[in-house]
Amino acid sequence: MQTIDDLDVAGKRVFVRADLNVPLSGTDITDDGRIRAVAPTIAKLVAAGAKVIVASHLGRPKGAPDPQFSLAPVAVRLGTILGQDVVFATDTVGDSAAQAVAGLQDGGVVLLENLRFNAGETSKDDAERGAFADRLAALADLYVGDGFGAVHRTHASVYDLPARLPHAVGLLIATEVAVLKRLTEQVDRPYVVVLGGAKVSDKLGVIDNLLGKADRILIGGGMAYTFLAAKGHEVGKSILQADQIPTVLEYLDRAEKNGVEFVLPVDVAVSADFPDTRTHAPVADFEIVASDAIPAGKEGLDLGPETRKLFAAKLADARTVFWNGPMGVFEHPTFAEGTKAVAQALADGDSFSVVGGGDSAAAVRILGFDEKKFGHISTGGGASLEYLEGKTLPGLAALEN
């Protein structure tokens, strides 16, 4: 793949497909990690005299403008991080975008409105998607792909647009791919994988592929309760995907045959009701129970203290770690201890640790950890998982052509 160092960008209009899909509370950005991650690529293009057109999606609007998914707050934050004004276009391929791009000086930056406000961005119809890509291509001379969090999507700005312009990868995608290769080629062992999050179905593909690669797999979060149920334990009101139990049992059997150690919670924090993650109201009936003794009327919401010690011990000698998914409802302080314990074990350890995007990356920042203590914090949870599943990522394939 070409990198931005292979392009002559001075005086050229350079379309940068970023991933600025940041969490918002109203118009307040609660985690700007994805903006900071792409900023070095934009800054390098600015320094080289490019006219930079940045584009991204945000959330899941229905192919039409929706104020709650506007990128306007992102333009302000991006400008602060870059230390220069960022012009905000109120559409993607309309009059505002055309005027903003036409007014760009060398080293200037424009951010287009949410790409998904146009139905062509995510259309499954090749012609509709291609027509939108044609209109985006008319804005630019060159294309730089740096939205790693979207490269597993066959979307117009990710998949179709690179075919229409000379293209290269940005600094972020180059780093992400290099990191993922360290997790799949000539891995330094022991290799430990920590998986959490709500649904086991989201992680089945990566577990399937890693059963032949990882030395240990630690399971936490909501997905752990399907594993516990598969072993015959009562899980109360906890998240359970009963239809996945046969697959989970097959994986546990394969892991044993392959010599892969599966580590499940031995105790959990439970409550009768899901906590209020907005007000952080105290949870009166919170208690710690053994993982094989969850009361019928209660829901598992975090790892217990013995499991936290167990997971830390299983991470202590690791040389390579991939972590994707929080260990509990980390947004509430009562149920953040499991996620904190995993993050602390990685921060204290000597492993090359990769935090696989999404909620786990947000948790590291929200819980106050120094990002420099981790080998790499990915910007693309879904993209990272699909890469580790061995899938071809459409956005990367388009940049390789």
Catalytic positions: 34, 199, 358, 382
158 within 8 A of 286, measured Cβ to Cβ: no
CA 321 to centroid of chain Cα atoms: 16
For residues 86 and 99, give the distance between their C-alpha atoms in angstroms, rounded to a whole number.
Answer: 14
For residues 278 and 288, give the distance between their C-alpha atoms in angstroms, rounded to a whole number.
Answer: 23
303's tokens: 């790892």
Residues of 107-127 as b/e, b for ≥16 C-beta within 10 angstroms?
A: bbbbbbbbbbbbbbbbbeeee
Name the H helices within 240-298. 245-258
CA 109 to centroid of chain Cα atoms: 25
82's tokens: 């870059």
- What secondary structure letter does DSSP report for 392? P
- Cis-peptide, bond into residue 23, ω within 30° of zero: no
Tell me if residue 269 falls in helix, strand or coil: strand
281 burial level (CB within 10 Å; 0-12, 13-18, 19+): exposed
- What secondary structure letter does DSSP report for 92? S
**Residue 379's closest CA among 163, 154, 145, 191?**
145
Phi, psi of 267 (to 5 degrees): -150, 155
Q: Token pair 């920042």 is at which residue?
A: 365
223 within 8 A of 199, measured Cβ to Cβ: yes
237 within 8 A of 270, measured Cβ to Cβ: no
16 within 8 A of 146, measured Cβ to Cβ: yes
